[in-house]
Chains A and B, each alone.
Chain A
Amino acid sequence: KQEVTQIPAALSVPEGENLVLNCSFTDSAIYNLQWFRQDPGKGLTSLLLIQSSQREQTSGRLNASLDKSSGRSTLYIAASQPGDSATYLCAVPYSGGGADGLTFGKGTHLIIQP
């Protein structure tokens, strides 16, 4: 059964810092990996999707990398801003008996201090 782990569980940094969020998964036979953002009391917003054939994806100040062989992905946030405060979730396609859907990590709760 696929398991997804995110480290750290929580992170608080001053505005302007560059930071890295980590995601690891146990089954490397994945088609892709997605990073989501969730604001308090809200739904999930897709940030980046990395296909298994890609090593990284970039969107603005966000850069996500994927290393299937080691079962790891990182989300790099450059020049952090208070508006980046949210919970960040990584997810991979569900691998339990052919079900469609995603297996999620428990998230990293990020606070950017003004």
Chain B
Amino acid sequence: NAGVTQTPKFQVLKTGQSMTLQCAQDMNHEYMSWYRQDPGMGLRLIHYSVGAGITDQGEVPNGYNVSRSTTEDFPLRLLSAAPSQTSVYFCATRRDSNAWAQYFGPGTRLLVL
């Protein structure tokens, strides 16, 4: 039981490049979400999903796309990376609407040059 896994751990991109941050969970949790963590700003919600096929925007969605084709996976796509997207990205899950405890992955550190 690996919990929440994220790949890659670290990535360097050039401005304008695209990439996908992977998040996978083996707990059969319905809810998944993406956060970014920046110095002085704390963690902020990017996108979230309440089940396969259902996604919605959080506080800072611009520049990011998500999809949820399976319960297990919730990838985050950067279509055209910008230096402002340099951050640490965390994926989180929770079991369902009746369970509030959230479980976080180890994070992906992204540097956009």
Note all chain A residues with C-beta closer than 8 A to B4.
43
* Nearest Cβ on chain A to B39's Cβ, whole angstroms: 9
Q: Does B106 lie within 8 Å of A49, measured CB to CB? A: no
Note all chain B residues with C-beta closer than 8 A to A31.
100
Main secondary structure of the interface of B (DSSP, over half): strand
Q: Does A93 lie within 8 Å of B100, measured CB to CB? A: yes
Q: Does B33 lie within 8 Å of A43, measured CB to CB? A: no
User: What's the tally of chain B residues with a CB closer than 8 Å to chain A?
Assistant: 26
Partner-contacting stretch, out of A58-66, A75-83, A99-107:
A99-107
* A44/B57 contact (C-beta < 8 A), A104-B42, A105-B42, A107-B42 known: no
A22-59: which residues lie under 8 A (CB-CB) from chain B? 31-32, 34, 36, 42-46, 49, 51
Q: Does A89 lie within 8 Å of B43, measured CB to CB? A: yes
* A32/B90 contact (C-beta < 8 A), A101-B58, A102-B45, A106-B40 known: no
Q: Which residues of A contact B (CB under 8 A)?
A: 31-32, 34, 36, 42-46, 49, 51, 89, 91, 93-94, 96, 99-107
11 A-B pairs besides A43-B104, A43-B107, A94-B45 with CB distance below 8 A are A34-B101, A36-B104, A44-B104, A89-B43, A91-B102, A100-B33, A100-B48, A101-B92, A102-B43, A103-B45, A106-B42
Q: Which residues of B contact A (CB under 8 A)?
A: 4, 31, 33, 35, 40-45, 48, 50, 56-59, 90, 92, 100-107
